[in-house]
């Protein structure tokens, strides 16, 4: 029987704001060079850790609810508890949440992090291409989400190693049913509870990767056993490009 794994990109005790991956597997070290480990301090003084992904040499894309103070990003990591030579730890110069983000309904939950210096591109550190403006992912499509986290619901210590799970895209109704806030215009529903491959409590900010492009940013799940909700990237491309000053 396959082992059930639950991953947290936060490496925090259960109950702290985080997201997890159920029934994941360890990825080949540094095979996801775009992954970023984001650490910060929340307003209440608690330490917070999120996922994210490198989209330009000095910009990481993540979720707006991951915003905090004294933020730092670790790139090129596989074992986040080891001092790997591949790692680049860079302070965040400016956190740029979407101006329409609402912390109550979690809509428009997306944020850019401008780094204090440019990341050096290596085999372990590289960009993840964003999906095109008109791109759509249809229900049934297989995509992936990655993160660092715990290995069971009762675990108190997270995995040090980057793990990944496969998610199937769901129809919007799966995330709308019994859930007060879900936007069909700006969100994607992914993860079949029957397959036991779900993000849950620790990958906030991590990318929904389909065909080697980022289509979404993980923000939350409908309920404990329900599918996951990602912020769609296409509707926010003009905002992303404008803030990164791309043509």
Catalytic residues: 65, 109, 204
3-state percent breakdown (helix, strand, coil) of the chain, nearest 5: 10, 35, 55
DSSP 164-184: EEEEEB--THHHHTT-S---T
> Tokens for 173?
């109704």
Q: How far apart are CA 58 and CA 245, in angstroms?
A: 12
Q: How far apart are CA 20 and CA 146, in angstroms?
A: 9
Rounding to the nearest 10 degrees, give the CA dihedral for residues 52, 54, 59, 62: -20
* Residues 223/200, Cβ–Cβ less than 8 Å: no
């Amino acid at each position: 029987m396959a082992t059930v794994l639950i991953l947290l990109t936060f490496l925090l005790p259960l109950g702290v704001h985080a997201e997890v991956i159920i029934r994941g597997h360890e990825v080949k070290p540094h095979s996801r060079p775009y992954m970023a480990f984001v650490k910060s301090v929340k307003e209440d003084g608690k330490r917070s850790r999120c996922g994210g992904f490198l989209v330009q040499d000095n910009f990481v894309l993540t979720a707006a609810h991951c915003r905090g103070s004294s933020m730092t990003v670790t790139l090129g990591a596989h074992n986040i508890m080891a001092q790997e030579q591949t790692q680049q730890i860079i302070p965040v110069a400016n956190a740029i949440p979407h101006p329409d983000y609402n912390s109550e309904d979690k809509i428009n939950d997306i944020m850019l992090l401008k780094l204090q210096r440019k990341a050096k591109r290596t085999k372990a550190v590289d960009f993840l291409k964003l999906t095109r403006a008109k791109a759509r992912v249809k229900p049934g499509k297989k995509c992936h989400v990655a993160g660092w986290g715990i290995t069971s619901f009762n675990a108190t210590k997270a995995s040090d190693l980057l793990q990944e799970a496969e998610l199937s895209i769901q129809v919007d109704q799966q995330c709308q049913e019994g859930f007060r806030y879900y936007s069909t215009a700006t969100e994607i529903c992914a993860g079949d509870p029957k397959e036991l491959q779900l993000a849950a409590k620790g990958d906030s900010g991590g990318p929904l990767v389909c065909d080697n492009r980022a289509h979404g940013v993980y923000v939350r799940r409908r309920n404990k056993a329900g599918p996951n909700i990602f912020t769609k990237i296409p509707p926010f491309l003009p905002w992303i490009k404008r803030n990164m000053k791309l043509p």
